[in-house]
Structure 1
Amino acid sequence: MGDNRGNTEASDAAAELKHFPNRKSEAYFYGAQAGAVPDGWFCRRHLHHMMFELNLVLEGTQLAEVGGASYRQGKDHLILVPPMMLHAYRAAGPFRFFVMHVQIDDPVFLNLLNRAKLLLLTPEHELNRLLLPEMKRILQLAEEGDAPKSKLFRSVYTIMDLLESYIAAQEGPGASADVLPIRIAKAIESLVADRHAEEAIAAGWMEALAEQLGFSRRHCYRVFRDAYSLSPREYLAVLRQQEAMHLLTGGEHAVEEVARRIGYDNVQSFIRQFVKWTGTTPGAFRKQRAGETVYLTPLELE
């Protein structure tokens, strides 16, 4: 009989192996700005889809409106804006600030931020004391310009780890993520960004969306409203407004083309709606090239 010890040893070795799933994470450091603004400066009401914002006052005072609540943001106060939350800012006298956004392909993490609703973090807040050094380190690296990306993203992921650990500890065991609100949000974004230009957004789009996801319209409305404090229809309107402003200030698109791109089959209807949004016509808005629109994040789908 032959000696099978080699086969046995190989089999035993293979049996001791434990295979782990492949995992990938992509973070996009987006729209970071630092500077000083005069009294009278303001940033219009807007939202960011699939990314969160950290807004830090370095000197002076900023008045913030986040999720329908008003805050007075002083030196070293941090504001954390979760995805799809409406917010606006204005100066209470001259002030200096640093703001950054992070887009991350992790719906569970994004859902965690929305559940926590940690908005204003004062210097006395435990989480502020953890995040502030990383924010200032990122600002320093960004100002250097040629700093290695690995150092920048080390601080970005440290911030995410601090947020995730703190919120999970506050929630305790048993809390779970509901990714349906993000699935609904992505489907709404597709209505604006991922369709043929000549296709108008149909009147029954919400019913069709709910059916596509396998839930009732009422259930989709409720979970979306609970997660983001605005209705799916309001979210669609904000996306259309922001995308129209992007197209008007970022290129030479004709007004008719902009109307088609965001789902209007009648250019006059689009113009009337744009006037309601901004107080001016698309043509006048383009000529003004309002500088405050740099805060708008582009509508990009995977």
Structure 2
Amino acid sequence: MTNRAAAALKSRAFPNLKSEVYLYGMHTGVTGKGWLCQRHLHHMMVEVNLVLSGTQTAIMDHAVYEQQAGDLLIIPPMKPHRYKSDRQEPLQYFVMHVQVSDTAFMQLMNNCEQLHYPKGDPLNEKLRPIIMQLIEQLQEDDSHSHIGLFANALLMMSLLERHMKTQQSDSPHYSEETLPPLIAREIEKLITFRHSDSEDRFETREPLHNWLAQIAEKLLISRRHCYRVFQQAYRMSPRDYLAVLRQQEAMHSLVNSDDSLEQIAYRIGFENVQSFIRQFSKWTGMTPGSFRRSERDSLHYLTPLELKLEQ
């Protein structure tokens, strides 16, 4: 052992550390021409999307990516996105969502500028073998231990973190107690608090009015400042975020529950079911009933609010 190494081993107390990792919605899919994945986002989760064969089109804000076989997409938290496939050949893909209870990492990912890593890109060449090993581990269906699975997921996040730090050395850093994540949580509560209410009281629940002003008042800031810091951090307005959450929760409830349209409309803040039906038709081009019949059990990409880790 060198003198330098020996010196580094002098008595020193290190902090106790705890971290949680949540892997959600891991699946492979095979689709044909005309496949469409509706616009959605993931609450404080990183999406890893790898095309195994064929081609898919990813749309994020005004950016469009043609994802070929072997191409990788890394989608930050709170980033609205959608997919489609217009090609004749089948599309096969793997997708997973990762949340870690490391706020610094999640906020680092929020500032991610590069999303598309084509085959041959240095980061792609590092991550793709790990993802392929993850797929093999998932297919083995080993119910005794998931340590190897989580080890690979954390290795992937570690490589991502190292890459993002080199790319974003001058980017602003947000600590755990800064306003943007607090505002996001308060917006999410506008929907999640309704899940715990008695369903037979949904007719009497007040609709969503002046909600941003109420959030700002709760956080002891002005409404204007509340809007500005959220927009700056997540590149979307608080109202846009709430709209995506309402659409996403509606789609998730329609295909994963037998709740009535009235119950779903109430939970996401509509005053009546007619308003909900009109808005849902604008979102998806389908009525809620048609969507429920055609998409039942097929929407694996949505992240339910009630399943996300506590921050």
Percentage of identical aligned residues? 46
Question: What amino acid sits opposite 1:250 in the alignment?
Answer: N
Look up the match of 2:163: 166
1:248-275 CA-to-partner distances (Å, cap 9, x unmatched) read 2212211111111112232222222222
Choose the corresponding residue for 2:151, options 145, 154, 158.
154
Choose the corresponding residue for 1:138, options 130, 134, 138.
134
Q: Secondary structure at the match of 2:277?
A: helix
Question: What amino acid sits opposite 1:85 in the alignment?
Answer: K
Per-residue deviation, 1:245: 1.6
Choose the corresponding residue for 2:300, options 294, 298, 301.
294
Look up the match of 1:45: 39
Look up the match of 2:190: 191
In the TM superposition, what are the counterparts of 1:1-302 in structure 2 within 5 Å?
18-91=12-85, 92-93=87-88, 94-146=90-142, 148-172=145-169, 175-178=172-175, 179-195=178-194, 196=197, 197=202, 198-290=204-296, 292-300=298-306, 302=310
1:122-175 CA-to-partner distances (Å, cap 9, x unmatched) read 123221122111111111111111163000000110111111111112223785
Per-residue deviation, 1:17: 6.7
> For the structure 1 residues 249 and 133, does the alpha-carbon distance in structure 2 shift closer, same or farther, using more than 3 Å as the test?
same
Aligned equivalents of 2:167 and 2:48: distance in 1? Answer: 20
Given that 1:66 and 1:119 are in contact with CA atoms closer than 8 Å, whether structure 2 keeps it comes out as no
> For the structure 1 residues 17 and 193, does the alpha-carbon distance in structure 2 shift closer, same or farther, using more than 3 Å as the test?
same
Question: What amino acid sits opposite 1:47 in the alignment?
Answer: L
Aligned equivalents of 1:290 and 1:174: distance in 2? Answer: 42
Q: Secondary structure at the match of 1:194?
A: helix
Question: What amino acid sits opposite 2:61 in the alignment?
Answer: G
Aligned equivalents of 2:222 and 2:254: distance in 1? Answer: 36
Q: Secondary structure at the match of 1:56?
A: strand
**Residues matched between the structures, number:** 287
Per-residue deviation, 1:200: 3.2
Q: Secondary structure at the match of 1:215?
A: coil
Aligned equivalents of 1:65 and 1:77: distance in 2? Answer: 15
Question: What amino acid sits opposite 2:302 in the alignment?
Answer: L
Aligned equivalents of 1:286 and 1:170: distance in 2? Answer: 43
Per-residue deviation, 1:292: 4.5
Q: Secondary structure at the match of 2:305?
A: coil
**Stretches of structure 2 lacking an aligned partner (at least 5 in a row):** 1-9
**Structure of higher CA gyration radius:** 1
Given that 2:254 and 2:288 are in contact with CA atoms closer than 8 Å, whether structure 1 keeps it comes out as yes
Tell me the TM-score normalised to structure 1 length: 0.87
Per-residue deviation, 1:290: 4.7
Aligned equivalents of 2:63 and 2:134: distance in 1? Answer: 28
Tell me the TM-score normalised to structure 2 length: 0.85
Q: CA RMSD in A?
A: 2.1
Per-residue deviation, 1:232: 0.7
Q: Secondary structure at the match of 2:304?
A: coil
Given that 1:200 and 1:264 are in contact with CA atoms closer than 8 Å, whether structure 2 keeps it comes out as no
Aligned equivalents of 1:171 and 1:295: distance in 2? Answer: 28
